[in-house]
Amino acid sequence: MVDEQLLTRDIEDKRVLEAMQSVPRRAFVPEGIRASAHMDNPLPIGYDQTISQPYIVALMTQLLVQKVPVGGRILEIGSGSGYQTAILVSMGFEVHCIEVVPELVEPSREVLSSIGLEPASMMVGDGHQGMPNKAPFDGILAAACARKLPKEWRKQLKEGGVIVAPVKRSSGQYLFRWTKKGRALKRENIIPVRFVPLIKS
């Protein structure tokens, strides 16, 4: 997976590559489709949710860690199966997760615990609202597509912090990275993507 899907593209951060190599993706994929765990595409995890393709997980992680120091506090929106969570925890970040689908939270928590990669906190809730009781964050990463960037995420981000998230545009979904500079957010366009929608609880 790492050799064929990441090294041949634009994933260059050694920390990201090591995390993608070490975290067992199979553990986060439903048993019936584990033979497809390392394929370069998203996979269903139930409840109309998916685990993102390996390349997208690696790309979003790389975009985040280029700006956030090791040990930084990360808010993960839409933790789903827990795979992205595991990648970030394995890299030494303080990760706080929020997931809107209650049925996904306990299974992902159990898997993360079984491999020793538990986040600092994990809760069921509306990702639009973020996690104000744990703010401010050095970085925010969202694995679900919002119609526009939620105001609460802006408020909960530290100065110099970054948001990596897909947002809906007239032409489809697009992945962006924002960096907080005073009251403004500097936006970088990354690539077109396709994520499940960010839904309200």
Pairwise CA distance, residues 44 & 174, whole Å: 21
On the question of pLDDT at 71 being above 90, the answer is yes
Worst-scoring range by mean pLDDT, 5-14, 50-59, 100-109, 191-200? Answer: 5-14
DSSP-derived pairing of the beta strands 121-124 and 94-99 = parallel
Give all domains of the chain, ordered by start, each with its CATH number: 2-193 (3.40.50.150)
Worst-scoring range by mean pLDDT, 9-13, 133-137, 163-167? Answer: 9-13
Pairwise CA distance, residues 62 & 139, whole Å: 12
On the question of pLDDT at 4 being above 70, the answer is no
Sheet of strand 157-169, all strands in order from the earlier edge strand to the far edge: 121-124, 94-99, 73-77, 137-142, 157-169, 172-181, 184-193
State what percent of residues in the chain have pLDDT above 70: 96
Q: Which residues pair with 43 in a beta bridge?
A: 51
* Pairwise pLDDT comparison (24 vs 43), residue with the higher score: 24
On the question of pLDDT at 146 being above 80, the answer is yes
Q: For residue 51, which of 181, 186, 60 has the smallest C-alpha distance? A: 60
Interval 127-144: pLDDT, tens: 999 999 999 999 999 999
Vertex 100 angle, CA 118 and 52, to 5°:
65
Residue 14, burial from CB neighbour count under 10 angstroms (0-12, 13-18, 19+): exposed
Residue 88, burial from CB neighbour count under 10 angstroms (0-12, 13-18, 19+): buried
Q: How large is the average pLDDT for residues 157-168?
A: 97
- For 71, phi then psi, to 5°, come to 90, -5
Q: Is the peptide bond before 136 cis (omega within 30 degrees of 0)?
A: yes
Pairwise CA distance, residues 83 & 92, whole Å: 15
On the question of pLDDT at 7 being above 80, the answer is no
At residue 123, the pLDDT reads 96
User: Is 52 an annotated catalytic residue?
Assistant: yes
Give me 103's structure tokens.
């049925």
- Average pLDDT over the chain reads 92
Q: How large is the average pLDDT for residues 181-191?
A: 93
Pairwise CA distance, residues 67 & 139, whole Å: 8
On the question of pLDDT at 76 being above 70, the answer is yes
Pairwise CA distance, residues 175 & 192, whole Å: 6
At residue 2, the pLDDT reads 61
> Looking at 52, 79, 81, 90, which residue is catalytic?
52
30 DSSP assignment:
-
At residue 39, the pLDDT reads 79
Number of residues that this document lists for the chain = 201
Give 1's pLDDT tier (boundaries 50, 70, 90): low
On the question of pLDDT at 6 being above 80, the answer is no
* Pairwise pLDDT comparison (163 vs 33), residue with the higher score: 163
At residue 201, the pLDDT reads 63
